[in-house]
Amino acid sequence: MVVTDSSDSGTILRVRGPLEFKCQLDSTDALLMQKVISRTFATLHSQVKSESCVLTVCDSSLIIWPNKGVYVTPEEITPNTLCEDIHQWIQTDEQESAGKRSSKKKNKKSSAASVINLRLMMEATKTGPLSAPILRRTLQKSHFLSTTLPMDCVVRTTCSDTIKDAFERLLEALTHQLCEMEKVTLQHMKGATLLVPEPLHFLLPEPKGLVTVVYPAGVPDSQLETHRKELHQQFELPDDWPYFRRANAFHFSNEPYKDGYLRNPHMVLTHPTLDNGKVYLVQGIYSYHHYMQDHMDDNGWGCAYRSLQTICSWFTQQGYVERAVPTHREIQQTLVDVGDKQGSFVGSRQWIGSIEVQVVLNQLLEVTSKIMFVSQGSELASKGRELANHFLTEGTPIMIGGGVLAHTILGVAWSETTGQIRYLILDPHYTGAEDLQVITDKGWCGWKGPDFWDQTAYYNLCLPQRPKVI
């Protein structure tokens, strides 16, 4: 595995590309097969360290030969050029159509490091005289193995790193990843069948940073618990959070989610300022579920279903469960199955509340929840300590239902000395498109004061408790 610096400043270099793994097994002896596979990995090491190894910067004309003294083309770029200057040669879609080189773009609302994507390639032709091909026919029973190794390495750079410095480290990361892939391949080899090694990146708590781990593709997380325990010990991580489950793999900012849902829209918001106040937020990743999504017209009745779906997405994307977010019909069927509702409830437009959310979480996800009862909305202003403690210890989204409305609480800003409190609300009543600016500017995801709640209505809050697993 490779550990990168965790600082937010600088740039992440990410190189991906295929390496063709091919070897011929002439024996079924396990030891001999392992030697052949190790020799094949040694050949790949030689390729990565050879002058044929080429790294190209995506969406640009830059080509780098890291083993030719870090030779770069075009000649305007030298090995001593700062890594950050590469951004000037990368074209966005708009600038490409205009025929202009882009300048480095920064998102003012995000402190995440920018990513430069590179492709790993090998030159197919070589200089000098070429030998004639030799054909040889051999009659023997052999087993030919062929697969593609999906190389994927990251290196974080600082503002003072040159191309030479960064690409030398990238090369080290590539060779180290090949070593990790060899270990995983040999460890999980079954006869003459190989499992493709799969590199994944995980962002650990400060100051550990971005870590790359190689897993065998096709082996479920449930069979890798021993390996994860070793990783937790190695990085001195607590045993109550699944940091290294596949669902927790780091998602790079330049890769859109394929399912179309927004993730963590609250991240672009500015925190409120309270006298001696602190901010307590949901931990991890969730999807924003709201009215009218998934070709379902639930406007006017489905807000609690959507809040439940947001909570379920949190447990899925932290790796606690491996099931999809339930649909409205699946939620209703679950409540019928446990005897909470009659059969006619399935397919209806009937509301659900915090108690039903608790039941579904327990039945579908095996997640327990605490219920907080508030006799009137004005009392919520006094619940700062309980809510802050929930986000500190559990970190899960909270569903709150009162009157005919349901919302999701993602955090609180609370002052222990003055009692001032603000609530970070994700509103499931939104009916528009997945437009982050509209959602945050219009307050569909935003900070609210105590007057946001109906002061005379009673409220029930469902506080999901996360399982203590790795």
* Catalytic sites, residue numbers: 303, 427, 429
- Here the tokens at position 195 are 């499992």
Q: Using DSSP, state whether 41 is helix, strand or coil.
A: helix
- Here the tokens at position 14 are 């990410």
Give yes or no for a contact between 260 and 440, defined as CB atoms under 8 angstroms apart.
no
Cβ-proximal residues to 249 (8 Å cutoff; 6+ apart), any chain: 200, 201, 202
Cβ-proximal residues to 257 (8 Å cutoff; 6+ apart), any chain: 251, 263
Distance, in Å, from the CA atom of 329 to the CA atom of 352, rounded to the nearest integer, reads 12
Give yes or no for a contact between 83 and 77, defined as CB atoms under 8 angstroms apart.
no
The candidate with the shortest Cα–Cα distance to 430, out of 311, 255, 267, 261, is 261
The four Cα atoms 284, 436, 381, 405 give a dihedral, to 10 degrees, of: -100
Kind of pairing between the strands at 421-426 and 445-448: antiparallel
Distance, in Å, from the CA atom of 232 to the CA atom of 236, rounded to the nearest integer, reads 6
Distance, in Å, from the CA atom of 127 to the CA atom of 215, rounded to the nearest integer, reads 38
Q: Using DSSP, state whether 272 is helix, strand or coil.
A: coil
- The secondary structure element, H or E, covering residue 152 is strand 143-157
